[in-house]
Amino acid sequence: MDLDKNKPGSAPARRRYVTTRRLDRIFVELANIYRFNARFFKEMWFPPYEFKEIIKQCYEIGVRSLPLISLTGFIIGIVFTNQSRPSLADFGATSLLPALISVAIIRAIGPLVTALIAAGRVGSAIGAELGSMRVTEQIDAMEVSATNPFKFLVVSRVLASTLMIPALTMYTTLVSLLGGYLNVHQNELTTLTTFFYQVFDAITFLDIVASSIKSVIFGFTIGMVGCYKGYNSSKGTEGVGKAANSSVVTAMFLIFIEELLIMQVINAIRAF
């Protein structure tokens, strides 16, 4: 029997100490995340409402993302159609391309690509902005002037992100379908009417509802993660960089997990 393992300062005791400290930190972080989310849901209902700031953030998140989203969505539509054609051509089923594109883009690619791009563009911007406001004491300045910084900065950004990501998702989906149409039209000479007739014929009401719910959840996740990381960023410029970086990484990780879980739920509903 190892009699030294409980001795203070021994290697096993140090390992236990380090493990306990790590676990402590994880639980404290989980409690902080819970409190942050709970505070958001509590504060969003009560006045004063920062409408001006919400509209400003909607513009920042929604309108200013349009060029990047348009380009990405359009290219993805073309590339996806191009890459799918050979597989269908092997079975002589290229006429099913619009249906395939429709299901893939509306069910998964549209919401996922929009969320990933927004996580990179919007999540990092929110994380860096709030992080730098924390470091330069701007958040403290709001607090001492009796303005609720959580309401002004966090509630407005999370609401704007939750509202704008679904709108951007619809837009990305449309632009991707247009990209797909151009490719199909060029190769199979399909008309716009026929293409969109097949697109809408292939999807169900459940697909649109699921896609919308998914994008609302993605939007909330991106806003919340960016705000949490930035608002609680540690002091110093290094903290700002870390807040921006971990906003993107954490949001992307959560988006994939959420996609997986929502897909399972929707498939279960579809089977039912």
Partner 1 sequence: MEAKEINPNIDRNEKVISIRGLKKAFDDFEVLKGVDLDLFKGENLVVLGRSGTGKSVLIKIISGLLYGDEGSVNVLGKEVGTLKPRELDALRLKIGFSFQNSALYDSMTVRENLEFPLVRHAKHMSEAEREELIHYVLEAVGLAQAINQMPSELSGGQRKRIGIARTLILKPEIMLYDEPTAGLDPITCIEINNLINEVQSRFNTSSIIITHDLTCARAVGDRVVMLLDGQFQREGTFEEVFDSNDERVQSFYNYNFID
Binding site for partner 1 (CB under 8 A): 48, 129, 132-133, 136-138, 140-141, 143-147
**Which residue lies nearer to partner 1 by CB, 123 or 149?**
149
**Which residue lies nearer to partner 1 by CB, 29 or 143?**
143
**Which residue lies nearer to partner 1 by CB, 110 or 131?**
131
Which two structure tokens, joined as six digits, stand for 75?
Answer: 């290219």
User: Which amino acid is it at 31?
Assistant: A
**Burial class (CB within 10 angstroms; exposed 0-12, middle 13-18, buried 19+) of 154:** buried
Least spacing, CB of residue 35 vs partner 1, in Å: 15
Least spacing, CB of residue 52 vs partner 1, in Å: 9
DSSP-based three-state secondary structure for 244: helix
Closest CA to 49 of 160, 162, 215, 164: 160
**Burial class (CB within 10 angstroms; exposed 0-12, middle 13-18, buried 19+) of 122:** buried
Least spacing, CB of residue 39 vs partner 1, in Å: 12
Q: Are 149 and 35 in contact (CB under 8 A)?
A: no
Helices (H) and strands (E) in the chain, counts: 12, 0
Longest dimension (CA), the chain: 82
**Which residue lies nearer to partner 1 by CB, 87 or 136?**
136
Least spacing, CB of residue 40 vs partner 1, in Å: 16
* CA 189 vs CA 94, 186, 194: distances in Å: 12, 6, 10
**Which residue lies nearer to partner 1 by CB, 146 or 271?**
146
Least spacing, CB of residue 139 vs partner 1, in Å: 9
Least spacing, CB of residue 48 vs partner 1, in Å: 7
**Which residue lies nearer to partner 1 by CB, 130 or 199?**
130
Q: Are 125 and 230 in contact (CB under 8 A)?
A: no
